[in-house]
Amino acid sequence: MPASYPSEGESDVDLDEYRHPGTGCVVSVPPGWDRLEDPQTSVALIAREPEDPAGFRANLVVTVDDLSSGPDLEQWQADTDRLLRQELRNYFLLDREVMQFGDQPVVRRLAHHASPDTGPVTMEQWAMVSGSTGYTLTASVATLSYDSLADVFSSIARRFRPGSTRHDEEAT
């Protein structure tokens, strides 16, 4: 019998620190992962594990949303829940909680989705609000590889630091 069942923890993998020039947010990225900066509107960063012809490449995506129209974290994330159900094929919500990173409330969700292109994917997301900007860190991995990266993803999320956007600076 184990002395205790392991729970979600921190990884001891060394991570590279990346600062996004537009938003100032700081993201920890596993060494050797490709980085795409500002690949599309509202997407600050995509980082992907090295090419793996055998299957789905684990990746991190940082998205930035303007919340100046008013939704708070819970309202914003309730909308996100609906959007994910609509947009992702075979979407299944596995876990969802509101947690604290320091004094920062964060919504964490774990979900599964699958399409013919990707196969089964486990997606973990952390969403937080800084000023009038919503930051979402999304980590995705082939489902059978989830356990091997879960602690790395958790470490990346806990080290994430939102930036101050130009909009927030203008507002103050």
Partner 1 sequence: MTVAFDSHTGRLRLDQETFDCLVAWARGSAEPGPELSALRDAGAIQDGQPHPKVWPGLQAVTEPICRLQAGSIEHNGRRRIGDGWVSSEAAALLLDAPDGMRELVTVHPTFMPMTIARVVRLGPRPRAGSDPLHLPSALYNSLFDADEATRRQAAERLSVGASDLPLAAVVERLVTGPWRMWAVTLTWTTPDGQPAARGMQVADTGAGLCLVDTGGQDSTLWPTTATGVWRRLTLLLPDEVRTP
The whole-angstrom separation of Cα 38 and Cα 61 is 10
Is 89 one of the binding residues for partner 1 (CB under 8 A)?
Answer: no
Residues in 108-137 that interact with partner 1 by CB under 8 A: 110, 112, 114, 119-120, 122
Q: How many residues bind partner 1 (CB under 8 A)?
A: 26
**Quick one: which of 142, 152, 156, 157 contacts partner 1 (CB under 8 A)?**
142
Beta partners for 104? 101
Is 9 one of the binding residues for partner 1 (CB under 8 A)?
Answer: no
**What region does 27 belong to: left with phi over 0, alpha with psi -120 to 50, or beta?**
beta
Is 95 one of the binding residues for partner 1 (CB under 8 A)?
Answer: yes
Question: What phi, psi does 68 have (nearest 5°)?
Answer: -65, -15
Residue with Cβ nearer partner 1 (8 or 14): 8
- If we measure between CA atoms, which residue out of 134, 126, 133 comes closest to residue 156? 126
The whole-angstrom separation of Cα 92 and Cα 170 is 40
User: Can you give the binding site for partner 1, defined by CB under 8 A?
Assistant: 1-2, 4-5, 7-8, 90, 92-97, 110, 112, 114, 119-120, 122, 142-147, 150
